[in-house]
Structure 1
């Protein structure tokens, strides 16, 4: 056990920070964005070592969008007020599906041609969906939770196969809490 902790301390710190992050997100606390920077910084290293290159790039995106998300949550509402939870409209949904599909294919192309990724299509799939879901989160769209359900379910399988067990636990919790988060956020809209 001690050796595992020594070998996997970065993943463990990222996992703990990720659990704090999701708790803060469930309760719509803007401080989640700062904790997200810590989580993502740890996972940049974890995913590089595991050859999940798209996921590693995604963590860089998370660090950047955390600044944007914090601003949007605090001042993105009417008259620079706190942003409320909102529902996604059909035209924007269709646009996001199109953008996500283009991202998926583009990321897969890069992974296939320029990396030694063992699972380029799945890595690209979860990355593209995560980019979209995080943008939706920054704008407090309720439906981002549903996208996270898909991302987390697929990610659990991928990380299990790479023996990233602490990350499997984290993403299992994320999966359960995505369902809980959807229900909690929906209640705040009434």
Structure 2
């Protein structure tokens, strides 16, 4: 058994390293640490390769988007609007109007990605791949802007993605996304605690 695991690890170094960096990335994001972004950027670059080999084209495209949004998030967390009392961009709630816009954006992205996958690729899981990809695009933008509700989207996306990767046999990534699911739950409550503390401090 040990030899089989070691053999698998030696045959899949890119996936394993991407998974390790992915766990570090989510740890940093929970703590609102700026290293969230460089760590996520490298992890995403590695997963471009992993998902291309697995024919998960929407997920591959998503990783390219992650690379770009990591650069934006990195800049925004450093230079975004802060109050005099804050040393970092504060956690905030999503305004009702913005929520409707994000739902609409998710639906449009889902339809667009599904159309591309069904008509221009050989993907065998176009519906689930499109769903997780569309929601992930929205959630990552929300993370970059520090909207707390992004964690709720990740809880759903990570759990569904874990099942998708079981089907694809990407076992290191299955473990990663199960961990992601539980860390997203923890992240939501950690950010909520920070948000409530800020509200109390200003009231």
Which residue of 2 is the match for residue 68 of structure 1?
72
Question: Secondary structure in 1 aligned to 2:41?
Answer: helix
Which residue of 2 is the match for residue 4 of structure 1?
8
Which residue of 1 is the match for residue 172 of structure 2?
166
The Cα RMSD (Å) is 1.2
- TM-score under structure 1 normalisation? 0.97
Q: Give, in angstroms, the shift of residue 179 of structure 1.
A: 0.4
- TM-score under structure 2 normalisation? 0.91
Moved over 4 A (4+): none
User: For the residues of structure 1 that align with 2:186 and 2:10, how far apart are their CA atoms?
Assistant: 33
User: For the residues of structure 2 that align with 1:145 and 1:126, how far apart are their CA atoms?
Assistant: 14
The answer to whether residue 108 in structure 2 is matched with residue 92 in structure 1 is no
The answer to whether residue 97 in structure 2 is matched with residue 57 in structure 1 is no
The answer to whether residue 152 in structure 2 is matched with residue 146 in structure 1 is yes
Can you give the 5+ residue segments of structure 1 that lack an aligned partner in the other structure? none
Q: Give, in angstroms, the shift of residue 5 of structure 1.
A: 1.6
Q: Give, in angstroms, the shift of residue 145 of structure 1.
A: 0.1
Which residue of 2 is the match for residue 28 of structure 1?
32
Structure showing greater Rg: 2
Deviations 1:48-79 (A, max 9, x none): 01110000000000001101001111111147
The answer to whether residue 199 in structure 2 is matched with residue 189 in structure 1 is no
User: For the residues of structure 2 that align with 1:29 and 1:82, how far apart are their CA atoms?
Assistant: 9
Q: Is the 8 A contact 2:82 2:90 kept in 1?
A: no
Which residue of 1 is the match for residue 107 of structure 2?
101
Can you give the 5+ residue segments of structure 2 that lack an aligned partner in the other structure? 197-203
Q: Give, in angstroms, the shift of residue 2 of structure 1.
A: 3.2
Deviations 1:5-33 (A, max 9, x none): 22211100000000111111110001110
1:77 to 55, 76, 81: 81
The answer to whether residue 39 in structure 2 is matched with residue 44 in structure 1 is no
User: For the residues of structure 2 that align with 1:162 and 1:148, how far apart are their CA atoms?
Assistant: 20
User: For the residues of structure 1 that align with 2:176 and 2:114, how far apart are their CA atoms?
Assistant: 25
Question: Secondary structure in 2 aligned to 1:69?
Answer: helix
Paired residues in the alignment total 190
Deviations 1:143-173 (A, max 9, x none): 0000001110110110001111100000000
